[in-house]
Amino acid sequence: MAARTPARTLGLALAALVVALAYHPVAADPYTCTGGTCTSLATYGEPTTCVGGVPLATGVCPALQQTEIQWNLNGGANTTIIVPASKPAGGGLISNPLSGAAVAACTKATQNVSVIAKTVGGAVSRIRPA
């Protein structure tokens, strides 16, 4: 019998940076299952531009330094995963398992997830509620 996926809410809030980095959301499976346990995936595209569509790492707009995935399971403590930028201009496809967030198959869980981006110039995106 195949394991059913856990019923949960996965809110991946992709925000625009104060210097307004524009994220590019990507469709993907929100979890992977092995045996009777499922682990969520945070999957998103790195931002590539600042406000007004100016490309990152051009001298006008600073380079992307990292993205940070922030999540919690069933309202528990928040966990942060720092993901270095794939390249200074951004644009990489990120799919990161939320280790420590495994849920037994056929159970219900609520998971809140958001992503922020940071540039080498110190700009930080705002987190939008999921």
β-pairing, 10-14 with 111-119? parallel
- Torsion, Cα of 89, 68, 83, 10 (10° steps): -110
In the structure, what pLDDT confidence band is assigned to residue 126 with cuts at 50, 70 and 90?
low
pLDDT recorded at residue 90: 94
- Buried-exposed string 57-66: b where 16+ CB fall within 10 A, e elsewhere: beeebbbbbe
Residues 6+ away with beta carbon under 8 Å from 63 = 56, 57, 85, 88, 89, 119, 120, 121
Q: 85-119: per-residue pLDDT in tens?
A: 999 999 999 988 887 777 887 788 888 888 899 99
- Nearest to 50, CA basis, from 60, 41, 35, 40: 60
Q: 6-23: per-residue pLDDT in tens?
A: 333 222 222 233 334 555
pTM score of the predicted model: 0.71
- Per the prediction, the chain carries an average pLDDT of 75
| CB contact at 8 A, 84 and 75 | no
* Domains of the chain: residue spans and CATH: 10-119 (2.60.40)
